[in-house]
Amino acid sequence: MATTPTVYSARPLDSSLTGTMDIDFSRDLTLQHESEVPLLTMLNKLASESTRTNVFKFATGRFAPRTSTANGAQSEVAAGAAMTLDVAAGTGVYFLAGDVIEIVGATEDATHKNLGIITAVATDALTVYGYVVDGSTSYGIPAVDDGATIRRLFSAMAEGGSGRNSSQTVPTVTTQYCMDFEDYFDVTKIQAENAQYTGPERSRLREEARKKHAIDQEYATYFSRLGVDVATTTTTGKPRRLMSGLYESVTSNVLTYGATLEGNELYDFMTSVHSPMYSGGMKRMVVCSGELLANVNKLATAAIRIGTRESTWGPNITTVQFAGRIWEFVEAPALSEARTGAGIVIHPRYMKKRELISTRYEMNVQNNIDKFYRDGFWSVWGIEQRLEEVFGIIRKAA
């Protein structure tokens, strides 16, 4: 008589099972596969956090960026007159009534200053008056060039201090999300009773499922788009939320280069990512495609020094040093295959893997009616990214 199988699962389906063991396979998932899934390996080694119902993503919608650009030129206005300042499409949400802005590069004189206070926001049109400097004398706003940088400096009054509405917004359902990853393989009960089969063959299938599970998560961290799994909505009415990957969510710092990446392009981009306001320290990591890494290795400039070293978690690292800053480039096979010539600048301090259900290996999940066992891996988690200004995207022009 065959022995009753033991299930390593948090959700056994058969009441005849002898027991349950709930083991976290998150870190074991990437063993021997560190070079194939470098970002997931790093996230698993960082301190992850459990997802709690009182934690949601981006409660305040004005973290960043603080700057936009003028959409069209504007003529100067006199003291006491309002300027309707159009900003780049979709960026009006960066500003609120009461914000003091700076118009970078605007020519100041005795009656015009480049500081203004916003009194109203209509989509991407700002109503701006000259900022009151001494409590009695206000200035006009100088002419604004098309494409001029518009920077939010601070709020003129504390939120709520004079009846001003809070900038906090209630998150929609899709802002609280994790992603469901499942990779299984089926074994018939006849195969399971075959000692020759259950040894090497099930071990091979388990390793294939483990690697596929890790690679699926690696791709999702880069390319997933915030949305709903429509298929589950149609069939069950219980949609699974899909998280937003780094490639879609990083928009503040973007470098688009031509056929090859030039040294000065990279140098200038590095400098812009290390904004004094959002420096995040002097180190970054770049997960990149093999083509981008090849371009970096060929750079010839006196301003950048390049070296290589081995990491403690698998992949080799190409280190780029400039002006006291250090960037570490790691090749990510997912980017090499899906985004040729691309790279994502990340800051591990501001990334977090938020786990709803940590990775579990489920063995011999079964139903008495079915004539097979199901083995596989199951994870439910979402990537949390904070302080977008310290991240960046490097991509090759199409």
The Cα 76–Cα 337 span in angstroms is: 51
Q: Is the residue at 101 inside a domain?
A: yes
Q: What is the DSSP string of 89-153?
A: TT-GGG--TTEEEEETTPPP-SSB-SEEEEEEEETTEEEEEEPBSSSS-B-BB--B-TT-EEEEE
Structural domain including 32 reads 1-59+172-398
Which range has the worst mean pLDDT, 189-198, 256-265, 382-391?
189-198
**Residues 240, 181 within the same domain:** yes
Which residue in 58, 124, 115, 134 sits closest to 91, CA to CA?
124
Asked if residue 398 has pLDDT above 60, the reply is yes
Q: Which two tokens mark 190?
A: 């006849």
Which residue in 391, 41, 381 sits closest to 247, CA to CA?
391
- 237-257: burial string, b at 16+ Cβ within 10 Å, e else: eebbbbbbbbbebbebbebeb
Q: What is the pLDDT of residues 316-360, one digit of tens each?
A: 788 888 777 889 999 999 999 999 899 999 998 888 888 888 898
**Residues 94, 194 within the same domain:** no
Query: Residue 289 carries which DSSP code?
Result: -
The single-letter code of the amino acid at 108 is E
| Cross-sheet strand order for the sheet of 179-188 | 49-50, 351-365, 372-385, 179-188
Q: Is the residue at 165 inside a domain?
A: no
Q: Are strands 351-365 and 49-50 parallel, antiparallel or unpaired?
A: parallel
**Residues 228, 375 within the same domain:** yes
The Cα 176–Cα 171 span in angstroms is: 8
Helices 38-45, 200-223: crossing angle, 10 deg rounding: 90
**Residues 27, 71 within the same domain:** no
- Segment 222-250 shows an average pLDDT of 74
**Residues 217, 333 within the same domain:** yes
Q: Is the residue at 193 inside a domain?
A: yes
**Residues 74, 55 within the same domain:** no
Which residues pair with residue 374 across a beta bridge? 186, 365
CATH classification of the domain holding 112: 2.40.30
Confidence of residue 6 (pLDDT cuts 50, 70, 90): very low
Q: What is the pLDDT of residues 137-179, one digit of tens each?
A: 678 999 999 999 999 888 776 455 555 555 555 555 555 567 8
Place of tokens 């389906």: 13
Q: What is the pLDDT of residues 350-394, one digit of tens each?
A: 888 888 888 988 887 776 677 777 888 988 888 888 888 889 999
Q: What is the pLDDT of residues 266-324, one digit of tens each?
A: 888 988 888 777 778 889 999 999 999 888 888 766 666 776 766 666 677 888 887 77
pLDDT winner (highest mean) among 6-20, 233-247, 266-280, 383-397? 383-397
**Cβ-count burial of 367 within 10 angstroms (0-12 exposed, 13-18 middle, 19+ buried)?**
exposed
Total count of domains within the chain: 2
